[in-house]
Structure 1
Amino acid sequence: MALLRRFVKEAHNSRFLLQSISRRSFSTVNPNPIASPGRRTSVEFDTLIYEAGNSGDFEAVRRLLNSRVVNACFNTTATFKFLTNTDSYSSSLEDLRRILPQTDAGYTRKHAYETLIARLCKLGRIDDALNLINDMAIGKFGLSNSIFHPILNTLTKKNKFEEARRVVELMRSHALPVDLTSYNYFLTSHCYDGDVAEASKVLRKMEEEEEGVISPDTRTYDALVLGACKSGKVEAALAILRRMEEDGLPVLYATHAHVIGELVESGYYALSVEFVMAYAGKDKKLDEENLGSLASKLIKRKRFKEAKLVLKEMSVRGLRMKNALREFHDTNMLKS
C-alpha cells in the first residue's frame, strides 16, 4: 500500500510532470544472431518434431528434444505444435508424459516440460498442465517459479482468480515463494479491469512477501499505469510514470500508449500533444509509435488541428507513417 499511497499523494502535481520528464534515452536492442552454416535451426527442429509427433513416432521426438539442445537450438512455442485439441490429444499427451522423463537430465528435460506446459495452457488444458507439474515434482525434475508462470498467466487473463490462488498455494507447497512475475499477472488483470481495490491488495501482498524483498519492475509499473488509466485517473497515471523513471526503469511502449489513450479519451488534446512531444527525439521507434498513435486518435475524434501538428512533427523528423496517416497527411497538408 505504501507504493500506491506515494502515487496518490503525487497525483495532484501531475499537470506539471511533463516539465520534469527524464531526458534519458529509451533505446531498444534487437539482436539478430545468424545461425552458423551447416547447422540446423530451431525452425528445422520444430518441423522435424512436428512430423514425428504427427506420425506417432515419440522416440524420434525424444531424440530430437535431446539433440536440439546440444546444438543450441532451444525449444520454441512451436515445438509441440502437433499437440492440438483433436481426437489424438489424449494419446499424444500420454506418450509425451512417457518420453519426457527419458530426455537428458537437467536443462533439456526441464525446458521440455516448461515448453509443453506452456502449450497446454494455450490449448486451455490447465488440469493437464498441473498434472505435468506433479510429474516433475515426483521425478524431482527441477520445479521452479517459471514453470507455473504460463498457468498463472492464463488463469488471471480469464479472471479465474480463485483457481490462480490455488496454483499459488501449490507453489508454496513445493517451497517456491511467489515471485514478482506471478504477482504481476494478478496485478495486470485487476488493473486491466480498473479494479483499484483488488490491485491494492496485490500491492500489499507484494510488500509483505519475504519482508519486502520484492521490488516493482517495469511490468508492475505498466500495470499500475494501465489501472490508473482504466479508472479514469490520468493524473495518477502521470505520477506513476514519473516514479517509474525516477526508479531508473525502462518504460514500455505500451505504458506510453495507456497514457496517450486516456488523455485523448478524457479530452485533454493539448496535453496529449505536450506529452508525446516531451519524449520526442530520444527513440525513433518510440516516436513513431507515440506520434502515430496520437495522430490516429485525434483524427478519429476530428481534432484535425492537433492531428496536423503531430503529423507535421512526424514529417519533419522523417518518421514512418502508416498508410492511413500518410494519406491524410498528403491530402490535407501538402496542398495547404
Structure 2
Amino acid sequence: MTQNNTPKIKRHLGSTTRIPFPTRSIILLEQKPSKMLSLRKLSTLKSSRFLSSLASIPGIPSCNYYDTRINQAGREGNFETVGRLLNKRVLDGFFNTNNTFKFITTTNLTILNDLLETIAQLDNNFARKCSYDCLIARLSKMHFIKEATRVAEVMVSEGHAAANNATFHPIINALTKKEEFDEAWRMLDVMKSNGISPDLTAYNYLLTGYCFIGNLTSAARVVEKIDEEELGADTRTYDALVLGACRAGELEAALALLRRMVDDGVSPLYCTHTHIINAFLKYNYYEQAVEFVRCNAGRDLKLDAENFGILATKLITRSRFEEAKELVKEMSERRLTMGPRLKDFYELNVRS
C-alpha cells in the first residue's frame, strides 16, 4: 500500500456511493425505533433494583448464592442437591450464569452422565433448557466440543428441552476462535440435520473468524450464504466485514462499508471504528487517523471519548506527541472523558 493510495476520509464519509464488498449487496434488516418504557416495564425495573439490593443481604437468594451452592454440591457429587437448586433458582427468578457449572473441570468429565441425568429430571422445560444451554456454554468454553455437541444432541433426540440456534452458538463460537472452520461448518450441518436452520448469529461467528485472519475469499462465501438464505445483516455482520477489509489492507473498502452502515441506519459498534483507527496506524497514516476521528465526532459523546482516547493513547505509545497533544486538547474542549493516563499527559503537556 503506497502513499498515493491513501484513503480519502471525507470523500467516503460524505458519499452515498455503495460499494459491494466482498460479494453482491447484503439485504439489511429494517431497524425498528426503540419504544419508551411502559409503566409495567418501569415497575419491573424498580422491582429488579429492589431484588438486587436484597441480594446483597446474607441469606437472601441471588445468582451468586445459587452458583456457590450448586458448585459445592457438584464437587461433592451430590447431584440430588444440584437438581433441587437448579429447580429452586428458576422458581426464585434467577437465571443460570457462566459460573453455574464451574465444578466441571478437565479432571472430572466422568460426572457428565450424572449431571445430564439430573438435568433431564428437572421440573419444567424452561429449567431444563436453561441448564442444558448453560452446560453447553461451559463445555464449549473449555473447548470440549465433542461433549458439548453430545449435550446438544441429547436435547434434540430425547426431547427434554427445545434446542435452538442459541444452543449451538457457543460451540460455533469456540470453533471459529480456534480457527477450526471445517468443524464449524460441520456443526451447521449438525444443526440442519436436527431441524434447526442456522441463523445470522451462527454465520456471523464464521464471518468474524475468517475476517480476523484476513481470509476474504472464505468470508465472501459466508456472505453468499447469508444472501442466499435472506438473513439480512446486522452490526456484527458489518463489523466483521470492516475488520476483514482492515486486516487485508483495504482501507477504502472499510471506509465505504462504514458509510454504508450509516446510510442504512445500522449503528456501528465502537470496535468497528477501532478497527479502522488501528489500520491507519498500522500503515503510519497518522493524519488520516486523526481526520477520521474528527469526521466521526459530534453524534455520540461516548463514542467520541472512545475514539479520541484510543487514538491519543496509541499516538503517545508511538511517540507521536504533537498529534497526541492536539487530540487531548480537543478532548478537553469537547468535554470528553479522559482516562488517568491521558489526564496526566494533558496536565503535563497541554494545560501547563
Tell me the TM-score normalised to structure 1 length: 0.87
Which residue number in structure 1 is paired with residue 30 of structure 2?
Answer: none
Which residue number in structure 1 is paired with residue 186 of structure 2?
Answer: 166
Unaligned 5+ runs, structure 1: 1-10, 22-26
Structure 1 position 34 matched with structure 2 position 53: no
What is the deviation of 1:304? 2.0
Unaligned 5+ runs, structure 2: 1-5, 17-33, 35-44
Q: How many residues align?
A: 313
Within the candidate set 58, 63, 67, 2:79 is matched to 58
What is the deviation of 1:278? 2.4
Which residue number in structure 2 is paired with residue 187 of structure 1?
Answer: 207
Pairing of 1:56-135 with structure 2 (within 5 A): 56-86=77-107, 89-135=108-154
Distance in 1, Cα, partners of 2:311 & 2:272: 14
Pairing of 1:184-263 with structure 2 (within 5 A): 184-209=204-229, 213-263=230-280
Which residue number in structure 2 is paired with residue 293 of structure 1?
Answer: 310
C-alpha RMSD of matched pairs (Å): 2.2
Distance in 2, Cα, partners of 1:130 & 1:156: 15
Which residue number in structure 1 is paired with residue 282 of structure 2?
Answer: 265
Does structure 2 conserve the Cα–Cα contact (< 8 Å) formed by 1:18 and 1:274? no
What is the deviation of 1:317? 2.7
Larger CA deviation: 100-109 vs 113-122: 100-109
Structure 1 position 144 matched with structure 2 position 139: no
Letter in 2 for 1:65: L
Letter in 2 for 1:282: R
Structure 1 position 18 matched with structure 2 position 13: yes
Letter in 2 for 1:273: V
Distance in 2, Cα, partners of 1:115 & 1:277: 43
Which residue number in structure 1 is paired with residue 37 of structure 2?
Answer: none
Distance in 1, Cα, partners of 2:219 & 2:50: 44
Which residue number in structure 2 is paired with residue 175 of structure 1?
Answer: 195
Distance in 1, Cα, partners of 2:7 & 2:247: 18
Distance in 1, Cα, partners of 2:350 & 2:293: 21
What is the deviation of 1:82? 1.3
Distance in 2, Cα, partners of 1:297 & 1:54: 46
What is the deviation of 1:303? 2.2
Query: Structure 1, residues 92-113: CA drift from partner, whole Å, max 9, x if none?
Result: 2121111010012321111100
Distance in 1, Cα, partners of 2:282 & 2:82: 51
Does structure 2 conserve the Cα–Cα contact (< 8 Å) formed by 1:15 and 1:235? no
Structure 1 position 325 matched with structure 2 position 318: no
**Counterpart of 1:194 in 2: which secondary structure?**
coil
Distance in 2, Cα, partners of 1:130 & 1:183: 18
**Counterpart of 1:182 in 2: which secondary structure?**
helix
Does structure 2 conserve the Cα–Cα contact (< 8 Å) formed by 1:14 and 1:239? no
Distance in 2, Cα, partners of 1:160 & 1:268: 34
Distance 1:19 1:307, change over 3 A: farther
Query: Structure 1, residues 192-222: CA drift from partner, whole Å, max 9, x if none?
Result: 001111111111111112xxx2101110000
Distance 1:328 1:12, change over 3 A: closer
**Counterpart of 2:295 in 1: which secondary structure?**
helix
Letter in 2 for 1:207: D
Distance 1:77 1:182, change over 3 A: same
Tell me the TM-score normalised to structure 2 length: 0.84
Distance in 1, Cα, partners of 2:195 & 2:212: 30
Does structure 1 conserve the Cα–Cα contact (< 8 Å) formed by 2:204 and 2:237? yes
What is the deviation of 1:75? 0.7
Which residue number in structure 2 is paired with residue 305 of structure 1?
Answer: 322
What is the deviation of 1:15? 4.7
Structure 1 residue runs of 4 or more that deviate by more than 4 Å after TM superposition = 11-15
Identity over the aligned pairs, expressed in percent?
46
What is the deviation of 1:275? 1.6
Larger CA deviation: 199-208 vs 11-20: 11-20
Does structure 1 conserve the Cα–Cα contact (< 8 Å) formed by 2:140 and 2:174? yes
**Counterpart of 1:34 in 2: which secondary structure?**
helix
Distance in 2, Cα, partners of 1:245 & 1:66: 46
Which residue number in structure 2 is paired with residue 3 of structure 1?
Answer: none
Distance in 1, Cα, partners of 2:11 & 2:315: 22
What is the deviation of 1:227? 0.3
Distance in 1, Cα, partners of 2:302 & 2:71: 36
Does structure 1 conserve the Cα–Cα contact (< 8 Å) formed by 2:66 and 2:89? yes
Does structure 2 conserve the Cα–Cα contact (< 8 Å) formed by 1:14 and 1:236? no
What is the deviation of 1:244? 1.1
